[in-house]
């Protein structure tokens, strides 16, 4: 049986990219309806089934402007699943700072700020959406993504029906810049010597062969990769049993330039060798 969801709900923070995600799905041939109240989700799925859309690709964009949002959405999802409709929730996230910047650039108020400040609306929305985010099948942090990068990520997750098994995004990052908020699993490569302290390697990054060879040649590097690969097989099997089709694995070091980049590439290569669909990104390369 295909693990591709028959019904996708796209939701998340205002300004985090819901419209971009919806357009990307439409370009992939999905039937998408925007700003649908949660109470109408089942009616939409029912109508889609009558015209044989439910067996294909159907998505709805739901935002916080619907009154009693979390109650309505959770109840609607339960109704859909109770009637045999496979549902997957995609939650789009972004940092407060990035959301403020985006709203200021378009000179629009936040839908929940009322007479208060922009940050007041963002804080209120986070509170309302907390439970939805916690239960989402896929969380995408768009803080560092432009519209083209977000579209690429949506295509990577939803672009094919015949991709095998779990779809994985491996992201390298620097701890000094904060954890990726959309990570399902986080590992720390700071137990390895830092190429930053090798003058010839300092200007390079983990994609450069001398840095890669230096990192992989350190005691413990291969043993870590072997052990983590085995752990991921157990996790992937559990995700499959729970119906989770997408996962983000974060690999960190101090600055996200050397060790985490090289190790993330190795993790991705090993997962591909096991037949998984893998996308790699390096969040903090070039940031220093």
Domains, the chain, ordered by start: 7-159 (3.40.50.300), 167-282 (no CATH)
Question: What pLDDT was estimated at residue 1?
Answer: 33
pLDDT at 197 over 50: yes
Position of tokens 């997957």? 88
Q: Does residue 136 or residue 243 have the better pLDDT? A: 136
Residue 209 dihedral angles phi and psi, to the nearest 5°: -60, -45
More confident residue, 163 or 268: 268
pLDDT at residue number 166 = 75
Q: Are 39 and 5 in contact (CB under 8 A)?
A: no
Return the number of other C-beta atoms located less than 10 Å from residue 283's C-beta: 23
Q: Which residues are annotated as a binding site for ATP?
A: 12-19
- The stretch 249-263 carries a mean pLDDT of 97
Binding site for GTP, by residue number, is: 63-66
Q: Is the pLDDT of residue 143 over 80?
A: yes
Comparing CA positions, the residue from 151, 157, 169, 152 lying closest to residue 22 is 151
Residue 154, pLDDT > 90, answer no
Least confident range from 45-54, 106-115, 123-132, 178-187: namely 45-54
Contacts from 65-69 at CB under 8 Å and sequence distance 24+? 65/35, 65/111, 66/37, 66/38, 66/39, 69/38, 69/128, 69/129, 69/132
Mean pLDDT of the 99-117 span: 88
* DSSP character string of 195-229: GGGSTTTTTS-TTSHHHHHHHHTSTTHHHHHHHHH
CB contact at 8 A, 252 and 190: yes
Indicate the average pLDDT of the chain: 86
pLDDT attached to residue 4: 46
pLDDT at 269: 96
Find out whether 165 and 275 touch, Cβ atoms under 8 Å: yes
Q: Which two tokens stand for residue 19?
A: 């419209």
Residues annotated in a binding site:
12-19, 63-66
Lowest mean pLDDT among 1-5, 7-11, 105-109: 1-5
Cβ-Cβ contacts under 8 Å for 178 (sequence gap 6 or more) = none
Higher pLDDT: 175 or 154? It is 175
């Amino acid at each position: 049986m295909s693990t591709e969801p028959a019904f996708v709900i796209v939701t998340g923070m205002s300004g985090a990219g819901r419209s971009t995600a919806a357009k990307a799905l439409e370009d992939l041939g999905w039937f998408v309806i925007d700003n649908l109240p949660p109470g109408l989700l089942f009616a939409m799925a029912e109508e889609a089934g009558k015209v044989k859309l439910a067996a294909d690709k159907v998505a709805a964009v739901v935002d916080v402007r619907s009154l009693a949002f979390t109650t309505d959405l959770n109840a609607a999802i339960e109704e859909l699943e109770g009637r045999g409709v496979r549902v997957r929730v995609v939650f789009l996230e972004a940092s407060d700072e990035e959301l403020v910047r985006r709203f200021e650039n378009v000179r629009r108020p936040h839908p929940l700020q009322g007479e208060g400040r922009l940050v007041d609306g963002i804080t209120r929305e986070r509170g309302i959406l907390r439970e939805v985010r916690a239960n989402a099948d896929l969380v995408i942090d768009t803080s560092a993504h432009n519209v083209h990068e977000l579209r690429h990520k949506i295509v990577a997750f939803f672009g094919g029906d015949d991709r095998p098994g779990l779809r994985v995004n491996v992201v390298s990052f620097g701890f000094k810049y904060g954890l990726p908020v959309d990570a399902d699993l986080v590992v720390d490569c700071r137990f390895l010597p830092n190429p930053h302290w090798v003058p010839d390697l300092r200007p390079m990054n983990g994609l450069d062969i001398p840095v890669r060879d230096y990192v992989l040649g350190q005691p413990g590097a291969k043993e870590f990769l072997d052990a983590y690969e085995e752990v991921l097989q157990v996790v992937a099997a559990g995700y499959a049993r729970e119906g989770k089709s997408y996962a983000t694995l974060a690999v960190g070091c101090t600055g996200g330039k050397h060790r985490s980049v090289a190790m993330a590439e190795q993790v991705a290569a090993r997962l591909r060798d096991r037949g998984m669909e893998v996308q790699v990104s390096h969040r903090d390369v070039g940031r220093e």
